[in-house]
Structure 1
Amino acid sequence: MTEKEKMLAGDLYLAFDGELVEERNQAKSLCYELNLLHPEEDLRAEVLAELLPNSLDPWIEPSFFCDYGYNITTGKNFYANHGCVILDGAPVTIGDDVMFAPAVHISTATHPLNAKQRTDGLERALPVSIGDRVWIGMGAKILPGVTIGDNAVVAAGAVVVKDVAANTVVAGVPAQYVRDVPEDEESA
């Protein structure tokens, strides 16, 4: 297996493999281009289409950074505010009508606890899945292997280390259940 195949399979892989470095550099070049566009230039959609070929017309404010881009899939009406970072060694799937506040970070990358494996350059990537109509608050961090259910709300500053049930609000470090999402505005 190539290092890329290992990465996509969730196995330990060498992150500094030539093919992966080249692909990250390509994504970083596109992020650079996106982040330097003048706000009135009408090129954002073109750059995002190249950077995120598996996404449905996302709206992403600069600055935005990702590792590969091709592992990110967004549904319709996805919005990410300034300072979003997605480390997408594994698939990151984002549903419809999802909103990210400023400085949301998602990482699929994780490193072995074994020091020798880490110093040898090995890492692993685990997928992240975010359902429909999810709101991720400012500065929240989503860690590898996490699934967030439909309609969930992740509070500002939360660090999500385990799955979040649909229709719930989580907050804190590590993120914990706070309450169910209200069914109507009167109970919000």
Structure 2
Amino acid sequence: MSQNNEEEVLARIAKGLVYTETEAAFQAPQRRTDEIFEYNRTAPGEPDRRRALLEAIFGSVGERTVLLPPFHAGFGSKVHIGDDFFGNVNLTFVDDVEIRIGDGVMIAPSVTLTTTGHPVHPARRADFGRFSEPIVIEDKVWIGSNAVVLPGVRIGRGSVIGAGSVVSRDVPPMAVAVGTPARVLRAITDEDLKSRTAQA
């Protein structure tokens, strides 16, 4: 594929338009599948090796990052993670375009962050036709187990996504969102500082 054709495909991807596997094949060198495979085979007592692999896999990665293996990513290189991140087991990044995660984010087991969907009509899914839109997860977000975050979603600072939720639209800052599709249940307020009877 010529450079002009590559630029045209990238422009369509950036607009959230449908593109195919063949059209996007030139991006294959950005995949970090071997490094992800190696990371998932590391022992708990190899923090330095894990850190080096995370730096090789992700587009950027902050300090004090914990990501429990196994995890999965289509590319890896299109994921950007801030400081003080905790990701539990079976985290999946479908990162055909960028996933940006802020500081202090916590993600529970078996969560999927997918930037990519497929057209409803089967004729448009030929050659794995798809569309992609970036995901943004702002600082201090907590995402519960088995949640799915869909293309184009932004989750606002400090928000909580309930376990099993499917997040198909933006979530404002400091909100609890639950359900399928996820809807804002309530705001997070200073009253929540008193929950679980913990002393701060």
Q: Same fold (TM over 0.5)?
A: yes
CA contact (8 A) 1:15 1:21 kept: no
Q: Which of 150, 166, 169 is residue 143 of structure 1 equivalent to? A: 150
What is the aligned partner in structure 1 of residue 141 from structure 2? 134
Matched, 1:160 2:170: no
CA distance in 1, matches of 2:11, 2:50: 31
What per-residue deviation string (whole Å, max 9, x for no partner) do you get for residues 150-177 of structure 1? 0100011111011111110011111111
What is the aligned partner in structure 2 of residue 46 from structure 1? 52
CA contact (8 A) 1:8 1:89 kept: no
CA contact (8 A) 1:7 1:89 kept: no
CA contact (8 A) 2:21 2:127 kept: no
Matched, 1:186 2:191: no
Tell me, what secondary structure is at the counterpart of 1:170? Answer: strand
Give the Å deviation of 1:9. 4.8
Give the Å deviation of 1:64. 0.7
Give the Å deviation of 1:79. 1.1
CA contact (8 A) 1:170 1:177 kept: yes
CA distance in 1, matches of 2:21, 2:29: 11
TM-score calculated relative to the size of structure 1: 0.91
How large is the Cα RMSD of the aligned pairs? 1.8
Question: Number of aligned pairs?
Answer: 186
Tell me, what secondary structure is at the counterpart of 1:116? Answer: helix
TM-score calculated relative to the size of structure 2: 0.86
CA distance in 2, matches of 1:66, 1:7: 18
Matched, 1:120 2:127: yes
Give the Å deviation of 1:6. 4.0
Q: Which of 93, 96, 99 is residue 103 of structure 2 equivalent to? A: 96
What per-residue deviation string (whole Å, max 9, x for no partner) do you get for residues 25-45 of structure 1? xx2211110000111123000
What per-residue deviation string (whole Å, max 9, x for no partner) do you get for residues 32-73 of structure 1? 100001111230000000001322143211011111122111
What is the aligned partner in structure 2 of residue 14 from structure 1? 20
Letter of the structure 2 residue corresponding to residue 185 of structure 1:
L
CA distance in 1, matches of 2:155, 2:51: 27
Tell me, what secondary structure is at the counterpart of 1:36? Answer: coil
Any stretches of 5+ residues in structure 1 without a counterpart? none
Tell me, what secondary structure is at the counterpart of 2:130? Answer: strand
CA distance in 1, matches of 2:100, 2:35: 20
Structure 1 residues 35, 8: closer, same or farther in 2, change over 3 A? farther
CA distance in 2, matches of 1:49, 1:11: 31
Letter of the structure 2 residue corresponding to residue 55 of structure 1:
V
What is the aligned partner in structure 2 of residue 71 from structure 1? 78
CA distance in 2, matches of 1:4, 1:163: 24
CA contact (8 A) 1:4 1:13 kept: no
What per-residue deviation string (whole Å, max 9, x for no partner) do you get for residues 4-38 of structure 1? 554355332222443234433xx221111000011
Give the Å deviation of 1:122. 1.8
